[in-house]
Amino acid sequence: MKNIILLFVIVLFCIFRVEAQKNTNKFRIGLTTSLEKNVSSDIMALDKIAGYSADYNKTNYRLGLSVEYQFKEKISINTAINYSNKDFTGTYYCVACNFFAAPSPEHIDFRFIEIPMTLKYYFLPNKVKLFGEFGVANLLSLNKEVTDNTYSLGIKFGGGLAYNLTEKISLQIAMNYTNGISKLNKESDFKLKTLALGIGIMKRL
């Protein structure tokens, strides 16, 4: 499964690179931001005996720079570099430890650099366009205290609408779901799952 996804990313990247050299006017670049809801398991195991009981009560967000290439009339290739905040409140547990006092809930930094690679399909060719999106999300962990693996992979899919403000500038609103398929810790089956609602401004070059 992971090899198939890696091949998908490589193919998209190659298409993106070749087409970029031929058609610079088909590019759009912009800023996007999202509010995120962590919908992962309430138990974040670090290994076989310890971890955190998680309360995803924090306001999380994602912010970054996006690039879109219009590959066909209704199909575009998309990538981005995002900073993602997925902090939560965690209560440490250890099934083999004898605590003098029960651990108290604490703020856990849980942050990533995200590099998605997706395909968008636009359903309506009008001023207001509906679209669906599918691809992968590459996540690079910035907090080694709670993750063994600095890299993880997820499947990303969702949809939204784009509204052309001018001939070159569009407003996009999208909702997407990212389902982690690789582990964040070597001795744990915990995988990241997030739901996001975002907005962005894109400009055609």
Instruction: State pLDDT tens for residues 103-129.
Output: 899 999 999 999 999 999 998 767 789
Residue 157 lies in a domain: yes
Inform me whether the pLDDT recorded for 12 exceeds 60.
Answer: no
Residue 193 lies in a domain: yes
State what percent of residues in the chain have pLDDT above 90: 62
Please report the pLDDT score of residue 8 as a whole number.
Answer: 54
Query: What's the pTM?
Result: 0.84
Place of tokens 């604490």: 106
Residue 68 lies in a domain: yes
Instruction: Determine the structural domain holding residue 157 and report its residue range.
Output: 2-40+61-87+108-204
Output the average pLDDT for the chain: 87
Residue 191 lies in a domain: yes
Q: Give the pair of three-digit tokens for residue 2.
A: 């992971």
Please report the pLDDT score of residue 191 as a whole number.
Answer: 93
CATH number at residue 151: 2.40.160.20
Residue 9 lies in a domain: yes
- Distance CA(169)–CA(101), nearest Å, equals 57
- pLDDT tens readout for residues 47-75: 889 999 999 988 899 999 999 988 888 89
Q: Give the pair of three-digit tokens for residue 196.
A: 């996001």
**CA 63 → CA 6, 80, 153, distances in Å?**
25, 10, 19
Domain total of the chain: 1
Please report the pLDDT score of residue 64 as a whole number.
Answer: 94
Residue type, 196: A
Residue 82 lies in a domain: yes
Residue 54 lies in a domain: no
Residue 100 lies in a domain: no
